[in-house]
Amino acid sequence: MALIQVNYMSQALFRIVPVNVILPADRFDAGNNCYINGKDRKYKTLYLLHGLLGNYTDWVSQTRILKWAEEKNLAVVMPSGDNSFYFNSRTPWNDYGTFIGKEIVEVTRRMFPLSEKREDTFIAGLSMGGFGAIRNGIVYSDNFSHVAGLSSAIHIFEDTSEEANIGLFDNLQAASKTNMNPYVAAEEMMSSGRPVPKFYMACGTRDDLMPANIAFRDFLKNKGIDVTWDEEDYGHDWDFWDLQIKKVLEWLPLDGV
C-alpha cells in the first residue's frame, strides 16, 4: 500500500494545495514474488474529507484507513479543506466546493490510475467533512455514486438569525436558501433529474449533532433516497470515526481483491 503526498497548483483555490493519496498499486504477493494488481487496473476511489481544525493528514494519523483500504483494494484521496465547510466562499480564490466536487476528481484521475466511472467514485467525511461530503455529493452527484457522512455538521443553517452569521457568509439567512444548504441542494437534485447517490449516515448517541443528523436522514428517506443509518454509544470523537470508516468501506461496492 503506497501512501503518497501530492502538492499541486489548484485552479479553484489559486495556490499550491497538499493532498494525501492511498494507492494499492504496490500490493505484493511474496509467495509468487509478484505484484497482485495488473498494470492496467483502474481503482475505485474514495474522496475522504477531514473535520474543522483538521487537515489532509488526519485520517491516516487517527484511523486504520491504510489497512482497510488495502484490504478493499481502494484508492483514497484526502485533501485539505481548511475550515471552509467545503463550499465556495464569498472571498476570491476559495472555491472549495468546486475544488472538492469537481477539480480534485479530475486532477487525481490524471495523476493516478483511478476509475473514471461514477459508480466507482465515492465521497465521505466527518463533522465539517461530513457536511462537505453530503453537500458536494449532492451538488456534484454526476461524479459520486455513494456519499457517507459521519457525525456530520449538518446543523449550520439551523439558526439563521443575524447573530449567528459567521465569516463564511455575507448573510447566513440568504445562504440557507441556496444549494450551500444540503436540503436545498437535495431538492434541486431531485427536480433536475440528475443521478441520486446512495447515502450512509452515522452519529454517536452522545453527540450534540445527533438531532440534526436524524432530521436530515429522515428528510432523505422521505424523498425516497436510499439511506443506510448507524448509531452507537459514542460522542464526537476519533474512536467513533475509526470504527465507522471501516463500516463505510464495508458498505461501499468494493471487490476487496
* Residue spans per domain, the chain: 2-251
pLDDT at 26 over 80: no
pLDDT at 33 over 80: no
Average confidence (pLDDT) over 197-218 = 98
The DSSP secondary structure of the chain, one letter per residue, reads -EEEEEEEEETTTTEEEEEEEEEGGG-EETTTTEESS-TT--B-EEEEE--TT--TTHHHHHS-HHHHHHHHT-EEEEE--TTSTTSB-SSTT-BHHHIIIIIHHHHHHHHS-B---GGGEEEEEETHHHHHHHHHHHHTTTT-SEEEEES--TTTTS--SGGG--TT-S-HHHHTTSTTSHHHHHHHHHHHT----EEEEEEETT-TTHHHHHHHHHHHHHTT--EEEEEES--SSHHHHHHHHHHHHHHS-----
The pLDDT assigned to 130 comes to 98
Average confidence (pLDDT) over 170-181 = 88
pLDDT at 150 over 90: yes
Average confidence (pLDDT) over 119-135 = 98
Q: pLDDT tens digits for 64-104?
A: 999 999 999 999 999 999 999 999 988 889 999 999 999 99
Q: How confident is the model at residue 195 (pLDDT cuts 50, 70, 90)?
A: very high
The pLDDT assigned to 199 comes to 98
Give the residue with greater pLDDT, 1 vs 8.
8
Lowest mean pLDDT among 25-29, 137-141, 164-168, 216-220: 164-168
pLDDT at 123 over 80: yes
First to last CA, the chain: 13
Average confidence (pLDDT) over 8-26 = 95
The pLDDT assigned to 91 comes to 82
Give the residue with greater pLDDT, 173 vs 19.
19
Q: How confident is the model at residue 178 (pLDDT cuts 50, 70, 90)?
A: very high
Give the residue with greater pLDDT, 34 vs 3.
3
The pLDDT assigned to 160 comes to 64
Percent of the chain with pLDDT over 70: 91
Fold classification of 2-251 is Rossmann fold (3.40.50)
| 85 within 8 A of 127, measured Cβ to Cβ | no
Average confidence (pLDDT) over 46-69 = 97
Q: How confident is the model at residue 30 (pLDDT cuts 50, 70, 90)?
A: low
Contacts of 205 (CB under 8 A, 6+ apart): 231, 232, 233, 234
- Given the C-alpha cell 497548483, which residue does it identify? 9
